[in-house]
Structure 1
Amino acid sequence: MLNVGDQAPDFTLPTTSGAAFRLAGLRGQRSLVLYFYPKDDTPGCTAEACSFRDQYQDFQELGAEVVGISSDSAASHQKFSRKHQLPFELLADEGGQVRKLYEVPRALLGLLPGRVTFVIDQHGVIRYIFNSLSGAADHVSNAKKILQGLAEKAGG
């Protein structure tokens, strides 16, 4: 199981724009809020994505990028992203390799992919892990609080 303080595993996945996203590409530049979610256009996942969208500027001001990952296809992500005007990338982990790499557990007796958010600092170190299928909005507010704390430490 990954823990706070571990180096975040590197990966490369396709984005909604068709480009490749590589975690190592952010190292030394920005922090990352990496959130794994079960499925595009379901009520909880839509609420979570829209909450990240509505607070996206706050994350940017805290020096962080937001990226969502599910096993949906890039085409599904494009439709979901357009429909809800998401300003951040969604990554297609169709085979679930990155979900396995990050040890994201399944939820509801193993029937659904889990909802887990990681806050990764600019050095690639995991600073926060939040695992909760319910409470999608908590993923957003908790991630923001962690980034605010990191910003205060860096400034103080």
Structure 2
Amino acid sequence: MPHTPKIGDTVGEFRLPGGRLDGETFHRREYTLCEQRGKPLVLAFYPGDDTPVCTAQLCSYSDGLADLQSAGAAVWGISPQGLDSHERFARDRNLRMPLLSDEGRTVAQSFGITAPLIGLRRAVFILTATGRLHWKHVTAVGATYPPATTLSAQLATLTA
């Protein structure tokens, strides 16, 4: 199994299907890491749509999205569920960031966060505008997550 990238490592390219709720429309498209070059990116890996901790985490990030975006960053939620599940989750919770589908867990594997029984560890990675890993939080069990304020503080160090 690949190891979790180290701070300063350049993250490899990936492409995943995803969607973003905009008003009443859930826009589906392919998301690629290279399209984000030039601005920071927050990757929030979570085990499952509509589970208690995942819901709290993604709602926190959606509520704090304006602050994260004001730091110049995009935020992507990534989990193994398909796009239909992501669309229901986004609509039910009014989530405004893109939710990407890693059904084969290939991207999670490349980040070294797959785990037996639970599928993947809850993890958040902040990438710089050049695609280097700036900060990470990977849980052992998955019951905790960094709040949006922590992510905003880390993003602020990129421009300091």
Please identify which structure carries the higher helix content.
1
Which residue number corresponds to residue 157 of structure 2? 149
Which residue number corresponds to residue 11 of structure 1? 14
Q: What is the rounded CA distance, in whole Å, between the counterparts of 1:62 and 1:151 in structure 2?
A: 8
Shift of 1:139: 4.8
Describe the SS at the equivalent of 2:129.
Answer: coil
Whether contact under 8 Å (2:68, 2:148) holds in the other structure is: no
Describe the SS at the equivalent of 2:28.
Answer: coil
Which residue number corresponds to residue 131 of structure 1? 138
So what's the TM-score if we normalise by structure 2?
A: 0.88
Q: Which moved more, 1:44-53 or 1:14-23?
A: 14-23
Describe the SS at the equivalent of 1:143.
Answer: helix
Whether contact under 8 Å (1:130, 1:139) holds in the other structure is: no
Asked if residue 41 in structure 1 is aligned to residue 41 in structure 2, the reply is no
Q: What is the rounded CA distance, in whole Å, between the counterparts of 1:128 and 1:105 in structure 2?
A: 19
Shift of 1:141: 3.2
Query: What fraction of aligned residue pairs are identical, expressed as a percent?
Result: 33
Whether contact under 8 Å (1:14, 1:20) holds in the other structure is: yes
Whether contact under 8 Å (1:38, 1:71) holds in the other structure is: yes
CA distance 1:139–1:116, shift in 2 (3 Å) = farther
Residues 61-85 of structure 1: CA distance to partner in whole angstroms, max 9, x if unpaired? 0000000100000100010011111
Shift of 1:105: 3.8
Q: What is the rounded CA distance, in whole Å, between the counterparts of 1:62 and 1:131 in structure 2?
A: 22
Residues 101-122 of structure 1: CA distance to partner in whole angstroms, max 9, x if unpaired? 111142xxx3212101000011
1:57 to 63, 66, 76: 66
**Over the residues paired in the alignment, what is the CA RMSD in angstroms?**
1.1
Q: Which runs of 5+ in 2 are unaligned?
A: 20-26
Which residue number corresponds to residue 82 of structure 2? 73
Whether contact under 8 Å (2:44, 2:125) holds in the other structure is: yes
Q: Following superposition of structure 1 onto structure 2, how do residues 101-140 of structure 1 map, counting pairs within 5 Å?
A: 101-106=110-115, 110-112=116-118, 113-132=120-139, 133-136=142-145, 138-140=146-148
Describe the SS at the equivalent of 2:31.
Answer: strand
Which residue number corresponds to residue 24 of structure 2? none
2:31 to 14, 21, 38: 21
Asked if residue 94 in structure 1 is aligned to residue 103 in structure 2, the reply is yes
| Aligned length, in residue pairs | 147
Q: Which runs of 5+ in 1 are unaligned?
A: none
Shift of 1:145: 1.5
